[in-house]
Amino acid sequence: MTPNNSSTGRNILTYFRQFKQSGHQLNFYNYQLKTSLLRPFSVDYFFDNSNSMRKFTLNVLERNLLSENPQLTIVTQLIGRNREQQTYQEMLASIQMNLLNPFISEIHMLQESEIYNSDLKQMIHSEKIKIVNLGRKLMVSDFMEYSNKNLKDRIVILITPNIYFDHTIVHATKIGFNTPLMLSRRQLFSVEKAQCEDKDNCLAAMKDTHDALVFRTTIPFSRNIISKLKTIPLGNYGSENVIMRLFKREYNFEIKNPSESIFLYQFVKPYVNTTINLRRV
């Protein structure tokens, strides 16, 4: 499948191409045959059979290794006030990367308004997108109520809109209903020369961040928990402590953060002429 010949499609690909000449190991378009399975896929993921990560993915799919697991479904919200803003382009790019991920079957967009729906419909694999008019900012309680009604017996993932997964999200199919996950992101910079002596250390998970919640919806979320999360959006400082405390008290669940097994990334485009030391991020 090829991108639509729309302005939005061109904007997304233009944004991706900012990474093309990057010497950083987490760039797009610049993968090689020796690419490790620990590297995130490029936007060419589906289109080149020599990509080692594509081979890995095809092997998993052909062996039907996911047959006994529920689908991986993302819930998020595309937000913004200006299509030309950098942050809006970052969100579009992240949503596009998740659409390209073969282990993600659907992305449910609980939208504040219909303004940006046309952008979502123009993306590659937009058939995976389910758009719902929520009419307000997405809270954790909205995610839980929606999951109770529409996403039973799945692996359901609530993420902030500027986050994307690589193929390691397949590990989420292993979780039980009593082991929800709260995942920390890695950072992706669109810089030509990342100033870092040890890139693996630079790209370690930022464990003070919590940008994704993962649940197996075998049992519904309780009304008590939902009522206490009506003013809690994902990503706000301290929200993870509220969520972990509630699940411990209500179900005696321990929320885990397997940040060395499941990788998620955030786009960050620094200002021009700004020096970035990844060790300090």
What's the CATH number where 156 sits? 3.90.550.10
For residue 66, the model assigns a pLDDT of: 53
For residue 229, the model assigns a pLDDT of: 92
> How many separate domains does the chain show?
1
For residue 139, the model assigns a pLDDT of: 94
For residue 272, the model assigns a pLDDT of: 33
Kindly state whether residue 2 falls inside one of the protein's structural domains: no
**Residue 76 to residue 162: CA distance in whole angstroms:** 10
For residue 27, the model assigns a pLDDT of: 36
- Is the four-CA dihedral 97, 184, 269, 159 of positive or negative sign? positive
Kindly state whether residue 27 falls inside one of the protein's structural domains: yes
Q: Which residues of the chain have pLDDT under 50?
A: 1-13, 15-48, 188-206, 269-281
For residue 40, the model assigns a pLDDT of: 39
For residue 55, the model assigns a pLDDT of: 61
**Residue 176 to residue 250: CA distance in whole angstroms:** 17
For residue 41, the model assigns a pLDDT of: 40
Given a contact cutoff of 8 angstroms between Cβ atoms, the answer to whether 89 and 80 are in contact is: no
Kindly state whether residue 264 falls inside one of the protein's structural domains: yes
For residue 226, the model assigns a pLDDT of: 94
Kindly state whether residue 54 falls inside one of the protein's structural domains: yes
Cα–Cα distances in Å, from 46 out to 49, 82, 179, 266?
Answer: 8, 31, 32, 21
For residue 279, the model assigns a pLDDT of: 27
Residue among 138, 22, 16, 2 nearest 78 (CA): 138
For residue 68, the model assigns a pLDDT of: 52
For residue 162, the model assigns a pLDDT of: 84
Structural domain for 92, as ranges: 7-280
For residue 1, the model assigns a pLDDT of: 37
Kindly state whether residue 1 falls inside one of the protein's structural domains: no
